[in-house]
Each structure stands twice: as C-alpha cells, then as structure tokens.
Structure 1
Amino acid sequence: MKNFALIGAAGYIAPRHMRAIKDTGNILASAYDINDSVGIIDSLSPDSEFFTEFERFQEHAFRLKRDPTTALDYVAICSPNYLHHAHIVAALRMGCDVICEKPLVPSCEILNELSRVEQETGKRVFNILQLRHHTAILDLKEKVAKEQVERKYEVELTYITSRGKWYMESWKGDPRKSFGVATNIGVHFYDMLHFVFGKLERNVVHFANEHKAAGYLEYEKAKVRWFLSIDANDLPVSVKGKKSTYRSITVNGDEMEFSEGFTDLHTTSYQEILAGRGYGIEDARHCVETVEVIRASKVMPAVNGEGHPALVSLVQ
C-alpha cells in the first residue's frame, strides 16, 4: 500500500481521486484545501488528516517522512489550474511523486521547469490524461493505425458541458486562474486528438469568449473542426432536458458519441501509474503547447470549410 496526500480536497474532481486511491488499495493519509466542505472524506477515507492551511499540511508531511512506514509516496493535486505548478514543485521537494489533474501547467516553459525539478529531486510528475484509457478512443486509435488512407480523416469534435452562473464567479471563470475555457475544459481533448491522429501541423482559432471557443486543428492524419462550450443553450435538441453534457466525435461522417464510460477512468489512470505506465511531463507537452498557442492566437475567419457547424450561430 502507498501513502497518498491530496491537495484540493474540496474541488469537483477530488472525489474521483479519493475513490481511485481507495479502489487501488492505497491510503489517503492527509488532505488539504482552503475550503472545509470535504464531507466526502467520511465515506472514502474517514481516518485521513485534514488541513485548511498549506503550511500545516506541509509540516505534517515532513513529520510523516521521518518514518518509512508513514512517509508519503504520492501527492495528488486537484487544486485550481494556476496553482498546479507551485503545488507540484512543493510535493516533489517533499520527496513525493505527483499525480496532477489537467491542465498540468499552462506553458511549455513551465513544463521545462518541472522537468528540472524532477531531475533535482529524483521524483516524477504524472498527468491525468484519462481519455487515453477510454475504450471508444482506444478503438478509434487502433482503427486509424490499421487503416491505410490516402486522405486525412475529416473529424468534428463537439464538447458541451453546461455550467451555471456560479462558474463565472469561481476561479474557473477567471482566465488568469483557469487560462480560459479552451484550456480548462478542452486540454484533454486536444491530447486525445494527438494520441489518435499524430503530430499537430496547424492550429487556427475561429471564435473565443468566456463561455465557448471554436477552431481548426490539422494533424498528421486528420483535419479537425472543434467546438467547446459551457453554455447549455448549445446542447443539441436531442439532449436538452435529458443530459447536461454532450461529447461527440464525428470521423468521416460517422458519429462516435462518447458521453458515457468516464466514471472509472481516474481509477484506471491510477492503476497504470502505479504499474509504472503513467503519462509524464513529455506525454503532456503536446496538449500544453496546443492550448498555449490557442490562448495566444488571434481569432481568424473560417475558410475552405474549416469551420465547425456551430460557428453559424455564434456572434462575437
């Protein structure tokens, strides 16, 4: 059994990490969050220590380090995006390997800094890139690898995840902290596209505001029109009133709706990391670079059929 700590225990995604720690037969020894709404711990790890001040959390970790049986092995990080870098570095210097939520960090420059700290500490950073474990995505990757096609695949990616008014009042609605909607909800989709279709060759942004974004990505094996939104009004008619989230990939006109199958992907990610097959800094570099370019890009008009169909109804 490995000893885990969790940073960001009150966050939306934290329960999936708590469940993954438990389901892989490990121990959540301590947790930290500035907020104390962490009652979920009672059902998953009632004996875990909990702190609302980072200094006390860190001091506790250093005390645990004195005894090999209690020393922390991993720190899982579910904190707001802009704090990932600082929390990763702190955990590495505490002598722990790190499992961090997406986006790992906002830029390739910071990835390089993390690589340096890895070398200094001898510890590793792993990113949760859960779509690489989704059965439908693995099947698509296998199909693309086997097929010999002369023309690139025509791909349409649509991801709509409804968020209420609270979203813009939280850190997620502040682009200085979340790095914007394309990074916050899209980074693992860009990783998935690279995972399936190869190296990115073009990156164009057609629309971007605080609620949604659209653009065009061209990979070695695919031309991708993408649209991301947190606006419930963008949900397809077939979904409205039934589901709050819609994920769809269309490949050469064939739709692969993959809204289901996400429940256990964090546990699968943990199993792979613990087995020595986790995705590290270099695995995350491609999607980090993709969103870094998207954030810096000027919005351009869609040409030559490169625009996602949703663009027709969007007003800048």
Structure 2
Amino acid sequence: MARFIERHPAWALIVIIAVAVLLWLVFAIWPPGLEAAIGRKRVFLNAVLNGITLGGLYFLVASGFTLIFGLMRNVNLAHGSLYLFGGYIGYAVSTWTGSWILSFIVAFIAVALVGVILQLAVFRRMEGQDLRQTMVTIGLSIVFADLMLWVFGGDFYQVQTPAWLIGPVQLPLLTAIKSSGEPVYLQYPLVRLVIFLASVVIGIAMWLALNRTRIGMIVRAGVDDRDILAATGVRIQFVFVLVFALGAGLAGIAGVVGGTFQSLSPGEDTRFLLASLVVVIVGGMGSIPGAALGAVIIGLAEQLGSVYIPTYAIVVTFLIMVLVLAVRPQGLLARR
C-alpha cells in the first residue's frame, strides 16, 4: 500500500477521498436536502449491502474461474454452465431432502466430478491451445444449456431458505431519527449476511491454501514450469485435476447460493460467466484477493447503478472494466 501511494499519489488521493465519502454516506445522518436530492438513506444502504453481498456471490463464481483460467491457464467458457448445474442440483436435493446444508455438499461433489471429467477429457488433451479450448468449451456450454433446459424446463426455481435463516436482522446502521428523537436502524435479510460471511471465509481459506501450504506452492510452481516440477517426482497432472475440481465445485456452491437469494433459470449461466470474466479482468488473473476486490466493485456498481441510473446500470459495469484495462491492463491486484 505504501509503495502504491509513493508511485501513484494522485490515484491514492482519489481512492482515499472516495472511501471517505462512502463512509460518510453510510454512517453519517444525512441532512434533509441531501436526502431529497439522491434518495432516502435506507434505499442507499440497502443498495450498498446488496452490492456487497452480490459481490460475495460473484466472488464464489469468479474464484473458481480465476483458479482455472487465471492460475492454470485453462480457458473454460463452460464455467457458467457449472454454476447453473450446481444450482439445479442444489434445488433438487433441498426439495427432496429438505436440507439446505446437504444441497451445498451434493452440488459441490457433483460439479467437481464434472470438472474432473472436463480436465481429463478436454483440457489435458489441449494444453496450451487457447483457441481450441475456447471453441470447445463454448460448444460444451451450449450443449449443457440445452440439456439443462430439457431436464429442468424453462421455469424459475428458488432454493428454499432454512427456517433459522429466514427474517431480517437489525444492523447498527442509522437510517433516520424520528421526530420523537428515536433512532431508526437498518434491517437486512440474515441469509444474505451469512452467505457473504461464508464467502469471506472461503476466500481467506483459498488464499492461505495457495500461499501458505505445500500444495499451493506445487500448483504455482507447476503453472510456471510443469516439466521441471514433474522431474522432481510430483504428480503434477493429479494436482491440476484436484485444482480444476475445486474450481468447478466452487461454481456449484455458488449456484446454490444464487438460487437461495435470487433464482435459477435458463440464461443465468451466460450472465455469471460474463460476470466472472469482468471480475477476473478487473481484479487480475490468478489473484484471489483480486477476485474479491473485483467482485465487490462490480457488485456495488451493478446494484447502485440499478437504483440510481437503471437505464445505464450495465454501462457502468463495463465502463469500470474499460477504465481498468486502460490504466492497469493486468488488473488491480494481478499476481506478479
């Protein structure tokens, strides 16, 4: 951080001012004139929290994508299909068994197995051939989409939230003060907060696994020079299969998460594949912290844009991506 401030003092000042303004908007009591100008504070705080929790969902999808695409150099454009397939599996399991937790476990295992098949049958045969991987996985995504449409139809599905997560929780965020002097605090759905906290825990665990464990060292070394690593006796292909399975399984978990506080329907695969691409581009390929930062930025841009400039909300998202590509093409927190 200190190095960034030394090298880019102007950008550092802009970031500090932006963070200070955001904190003031969140924690300060808005004067009546400002509240009338840009909307009620409750709406603003809901949009911010929706953006952050949506960022948690985007991170779960993009973290698996950045493992497969950014770290292992495998161009898997069927990643969105893995998300939707995991969501459908989670919906089916939760409907049959009534267990929300079990739906995550089954979705992770089922989608991870699909990831293993993809790694063994497709990517191992086309290592280093980015164009072939792109075309094959685009074709596979179309086939997967048609198969899921055939099995599950074109209806919308919602994964049932467990009873212990239903209802709002009061947050220590002041939205207004009544004429009697009584403060009014924001209430927010508990399930979204729990899911966001779970995504934070998963992100920290992934970063520690990649940067503080032997298996993470092997994966990073194998990406840089797999031949030399294989010569030391490490079964690098087996390690890569496990990493691919983990990335696919995370997409399956994200599908259950998305089906819980949003919905599942045909077309969600394309939406989340595109979101993953944008998050990885903004955050930096192969960087777990970058995926987290990019996911929060895109989630906030999408939700704030949909509230205040709904006509141009999608434009804001891609404008951020264009600005990052123009200023820092490798991404905000790209691996070095």
TM-score by length of 2: 0.24
Hey, which of these two has a bigger chunk of helix by percent? 2
Q: TM-score with structure 1 length normalisation?
A: 0.25
Q: Which has the higher contact order (CA 8 A, sep 6+)?
A: 2
Computing the radius of gyration from Cα coordinates, the structure with the larger value is: 2
User: Higher strand share goes to which structure?
Assistant: 1
